[in-house]
Amino acid sequence: TDACITAIDAADALNAFVTKTPEKALAMADAADARLKAGDAPAMCGVPVGIKDLFCTEGVRAQAASDILRGFKPPYESTVTRRLWDDGAVMLGKLNMDEFAMGSSNETSAYGPVASPWRRRGDNRPLTPGGSSGGSAAAVSADLCLAATGTDTGGSIRQPAAFTGIVGLKPTYGRCSRWGVVAFASSLDQAGPMTKTVRDAAIMLQAIAGEDAKDSTSAPIPVPDFEAALTGDVRGRRIGVPKEYRLDGMPAEIEALWAKGRAMLADAGAEIVDISLPHTKYALPAYYIIAPAEASSNLARYDGVRYGLRAELQPGDDMTDLYERSRAEGFGAEVKRRVMIGAYVLSAGYYDAYYLRAQKVRTLIRRDFEQAFDAGVDAILTPATPSAAFALGEVGGDDPVAMYLNDVFTVTVNLAGLPAISVPAGMNEAGLPLGLQLIGQPWGEAALLNDACALE
């Protein structure tokens, strides 16, 4: 904990930690030490971690990287973080992210962007750590903490993990409680571990998983011993390779990485099979209808009345002006764009054409996966991202869709509710890490984690 606190202070330039809690960390470390000495040692006991700003932490600022929650200190603790503290983990502070987890580069944050600890060889421009869990990825990658929490609605754990050379696991929808996690798109959001190794991901998932009476979508499904499942034996596992993920114009380095992943799994005794997930190309448009629709509804609660930012009233202002001013001042441009798209696709004249249609596409995408699994595929291997990390300011700008394209390999998993993991599996010529994604069967995290070991 001491070493992490020192490292965090020396790494302010990364802008990864937005709230530091060193006194709390030292007190928690002392308590963990006492538990260890008493022989009561859960796996996370004494492990210093960072928490994405999207998690409510009692008495500690949780702003979801938005001005509309400026200075908000929740009066309660999220279930995921509560479980970490119950297990003896140590909180170092809160981590930067895209505003309300909307983004793929951490550039929509009200705290400003995070700089990745990585650089392209011979090019000193700061790179994105990915998003939305960019602070978590940068902090773990730069050794500021041993692990961090992330959340993943369309790739926000896996894409930043891939961009920074760490492991990121999105659990099955319902595996971890969403209680106390600021809602973005409730039918897609899942919390999960961001760690240095697959084994660490197994250990951290163990601590945070399981049914919670406070979240009716958390599942009453037994939580297996994830670490015990890491035998390293993948012989006879059938790994599907979906042809629809072979995109036109995909960089050769991503093609090569995927081939390397297939070879690693085959060398370890797995069987590689070609599969088809025919509705894949509709996933990104469906996601960018469903996620904003749910966001527009979830974000209606930020009205300047109950908590967070309240705009200065002008003479003659009424209640509606208060709402409008507070939301105009408090939300950033990307959040406003999502709220407007969401309100549009849910509106009476367009609901059938957009929202309902996207929901039908979602069902087809889920069926694609079910059919592959029913046909005997155990897991599916794809690249985690269509490229390596890009420079801050390089993508997006006036063209939000260019940024959305980052999520092309990750959103399918959220639409289908499946678990998936991003594992660092190589470097490109510029010396940047690249990640492979393994997609598992529902509730199959134990087998998925074991498969992932073969890629490390």
What number of other Cβ atoms are within 10 A of residue 120's Cβ?
A: 17
Taking a C-beta distance cutoff of 8 angstroms, is the pair 436, 159 a contact? no
Judge whether 156 counts as a catalytic residue: yes
Nearest to 176 by CA among 143, 155, 204, 200: 204
Beta strand ranges found along 10-89 (DSSP E):
17-20, 48-52
Please tell me whether residue 102 binds ligand GLN under the rule CB under 6 A: yes
Minimum CB–partner distance for residue 173 and ligand GLN (Å) = 13
Taking a C-beta distance cutoff of 8 angstroms, is the pair 199, 233 a contact? no
Minimum CB–partner distance for residue 385 and ligand GLN (Å) = 11
Please tell me whether residue 136 binds ligand GLN under the rule CB under 6 A: no
Please tell me whether residue 129 binds ligand GLN under the rule CB under 6 A: no
Minimum CB–partner distance for residue 152 and ligand GLN (Å) = 5
Q: Three-class SS of residue 422?
A: strand
Structure tokens at 375: 């046909």
Judge whether 326 counts as a catalytic residue: no
The only residue of 1, 66, 81, 156 in contact with ligand GLN, by rule CB under 6 A: 156
Minimum CB–partner distance for residue 157 and ligand GLN (Å) = 7
| Peptide bond connecting 141 to the previous residue in cis, omega within 30 degrees of 0 | no
Minimum CB–partner distance for residue 407 and ligand GLN (Å) = 5
Q: Which stretch binds ligand GLN (CB under 6 A): 110-118, 121-129, 149-157, 218-226?
A: 149-157
**Comparison of 90 and 95: residue with beta carbon closer to ligand GLN:** 95
Please tell me whether residue 95 binds ligand GLN under the rule CB under 6 A: no
Taking a C-beta distance cutoff of 8 angstroms, is the pair 57, 79 a contact? no
C-alpha 273/C-alpha 287 separation (Å) is: 27
Please tell me whether residue 423 binds ligand GLN under the rule CB under 6 A: no
Q: What is the largest CA-CA distance in the chain?
A: 73
Please tell me whether residue 298 binds ligand GLN under the rule CB under 6 A: no
Strands 238-242 and 271-275 come out as: parallel
- State the residue number with the nearest CB to ligand GLN: 156
Q: Rounded to the nearest 5°, which phi and psi values hold at 389?
A: -60, 145
Minimum CB–partner distance for residue 185 and ligand GLN (Å) = 8
Q: What is the DSSP letter of 226?
A: T
Considering the candidates 78, 136, 156, 296, report the single residue annotated as catalytic.
156
Judge whether 132 counts as a catalytic residue: yes
b/e burial code for range 353-367 (CB count within 10 A of at least 16 → b): ebbebbeebbeebbe
Please tell me whether residue 264 binds ligand GLN under the rule CB under 6 A: no
Q: Rounded to the nearest 5°, which phi and psi values hold at 437?
A: -110, 130
Q: How far is CA 185 from CA 41, 189, 208, in A?
A: 36, 6, 20
Q: x/- binding map, residues 166-185, to ligand GLN, per CB under 6 A?
A: ------------------x-
Minimum CB–partner distance for residue 165 and ligand GLN (Å) = 19
C-alpha 17/C-alpha 111 separation (Å) is: 10
Size, binding site for ligand GLN by CB under 6 A: 13
The only residue of 132, 164, 422, 441 in contact with ligand GLN, by rule CB under 6 A: 132
Q: Which stretch binds ligand GLN (CB under 6 A): 97-105, 113-121, 204-212, 352-360?
A: 97-105
**Comparison of 16 and 185: residue with beta carbon closer to ligand GLN:** 185
Please tell me whether residue 308 binds ligand GLN under the rule CB under 6 A: no
Please tell me whether residue 154 binds ligand GLN under the rule CB under 6 A: yes
- In DSSP terms, which residues pair with 240 in a beta bridge? 273, 380
Please tell me whether residue 152 binds ligand GLN under the rule CB under 6 A: yes
Please tell me whether residue 194 binds ligand GLN under the rule CB under 6 A: no
C-alpha 396/C-alpha 239 separation (Å) is: 34
C-alpha 306/C-alpha 117 separation (Å) is: 38
Can you say how many angstroms the Cα of residue 78 is from the centroid of all Cα atoms in its chain? Answer: 16
Please tell me whether residue 96 binds ligand GLN under the rule CB under 6 A: no
The only residue of 49, 92, 101, 144 in contact with ligand GLN, by rule CB under 6 A: 101
Considering the candidates 78, 116, 132, 326, report the single residue annotated as catalytic.
132
Beta strand ranges found along 231-339 (DSSP E):
238-242, 271-275
Q: Which stretch binds ligand GLN (CB under 6 A): 1-9, 31-39, 119-127, 146-154?
A: 146-154
Which residues are part of the catalytic machinery?
A: 52, 132, 156
> Which residues make up the interface to ligand GLN (CB under 6 A)?
101-104, 132, 152-156, 184, 291, 407
